Amino acid sequence: MKVPFYDATREYNNYKAEFDKAIADVIASGAFILGKQVQEFEEAVCKYTGVKYAVGVANGSDALLIASDILGYKNGAEVLTPVFTFFASTSCIARLNGKPVFCDVDEDTFCMNMKDAENRITGKTKGILPVHLFLQTVDLNACMELARKHHLKVLEDAAEAFGMRTMYNGEYKHAGLLGDFGVFSFFPTKTLGGYGDGGMIVTNNEELYKKAKSFRTHGSSKKYHHDYIGYNSRLDTLQAAILNVKLSRIDNAIQKRASHAAHYREMLKDVPGIKLPVIKNNNKEVNYVFCVQAEKRDALEKHLQSKEIGTSIYYPVPLHLQKCFEYLGYKKGDFPIAEKLCETVLALPMFPELTEDEVSFVCESIKEFYK
């Protein structure tokens, strides 16, 4: 049995008529840049998440960069961010000549350790850029308390977190809504993913919303009138049309992912050498990917590949050991938890259209390896 790590064609074939019509409608309209489908999608995201304002941009990395620029994460300002995450969570600071200040992560959740973060605050610290990783949010209660205590701006990297919620002040809040800004990515593999790149900036602050909307179109408030040195980063109308179709079914997609995760957990719970994901902080998880911590991880990966089972390693090298960040002066051993995770974490196939037989085959193949 061949099991892909991710497959977009199954969903497309299931709803081909709807996707084809959505795409054809955009082409027929001729409104390829900021067409009506973009506004419709922004409004639908607001309704689904409960946020007041949403601004569609070209991709999640641009969303981080634009939000960082507006919040002042630049020109020597120090910003706390996790060392175990995707490159874009740090490059957005570095590209603006800000200083990323890495923090270690929680070994169970893989998310930013707020106690470690507080120990790294200095007089130059401007903000916190927490990342909601894989299936749950960071400890947002601790994060927002830290921000209030030290008067820091918060940019939530919710690129992987569409649909995730966490308990905050007695009620569940969608990821990305508590900080000054939150961002989403609609890269194809995401829980809500398009057929190409796409991203979104969200906020409950009207002034920040107006700035973000201006920044995505060269800093203009109206055509050829520029208030800021902005960017050219707009969510494509075709992608918005596709995402509108997908958003209408997002709860069903999340539930299917949850079913696959439960299947993995049941079959792998007693396998020696495998540590399953741990949910903390009253989080309502969404299984964007399903990551285990595995002994002999690299050998296990090769074994699964020999069975034609797709996997991915998140992440093979922690950010402090990336060549481009050598100038920050970190060294091996500075972040022991992150370094350990980079040697043990393995992501298994996870997308709604997986079958029970495929998940069972993956699990039986893992059991076979550890026997």
Q: What is the mean pLDDT of residues 343-369?
A: 98
pLDDT above 90 coverage of the chain, percent: 99
Measured distance CA(289)–CA(133) in Å, rounded: 9
Domain count, the chain: 2
- Would you state the pLDDT for residue 194? 98
- Would you state the pLDDT for residue 200? 98
* pLDDT tens, position by position, 137-165: 999 999 999 999 999 999 999 999 999 99
* pLDDT tens, position by position, 248-304: 999 999 999 999 999 999 999 999 999 999 999 899 999 999 999 999 999 999 999
247, 269, 293: which is the final residue of a domain? Answer: 247
Look at residue 2 and tell me if it is in a domain. Answer: no
- Measured CA to CA in angstroms, residue 113 lies from 143, 161, 174, 247, 323 at distances of 9, 18, 20, 32, 24
Residue 88: name the closest of 188, 158, 177 by CA. 158
- Helix, strand, coil percentages for the chain (3-state, nearest 5): 40, 20, 40
- Measured CA to CA in angstroms, residue 76 lies from 79, 91, 96, 109, 116 at distances of 9, 14, 9, 30, 21
Radius of gyration of the chain (CA): 21
User: What CATH number should be reported for the domain holding residue 272?
Assistant: 3.90.1150.10
349 DSSP assignment: P
Per-residue confidence band for 241, with pLDDT thresholds at 50, 70 and 90? very high
Measured distance CA(204)–CA(147) in Å, rounded: 17
221 DSSP assignment: E
Q: What is the mean pLDDT of residues 195-200?
A: 98
Look at residue 108 and tell me if it is in a domain. Answer: no
- Would you state the pLDDT for residue 281? 86
- Would you state the pLDDT for residue 156? 98
**Mean pLDDT, the chain, whole residue set:** 97
Beta carbons of 187 and 161 less than 8 angstroms apart: no
247, 271, 306: which is the final residue of a domain? Answer: 247
- Would you state the pLDDT for residue 141? 96
174, amino acid identity: H
Q: Residues 167, 37: one domain?
A: yes
Does residue 97 carry a pLDDT above 90?
A: yes
Does residue 5 carry a pLDDT above 90?
A: yes
Q: Residues 197, 212: one domain?
A: yes
Domain of 236 in residue numbering reads as 9-103+113-247
Token pair 């979104």 is found at 200
Contacts of 346 (CB under 8 A, 6+ apart): 291, 292, 293, 294, 297, 300, 301, 311, 312, 313
Look at residue 73 and tell me if it is in a domain. Answer: yes
- Would you state the pLDDT for residue 307? 98
197, 231, 247: which is the final residue of a domain? Answer: 247
Q: Residues 85, 149: one domain?
A: yes
User: What CATH number should be reported for the domain holding residue 127?
Assistant: 3.40.640.10
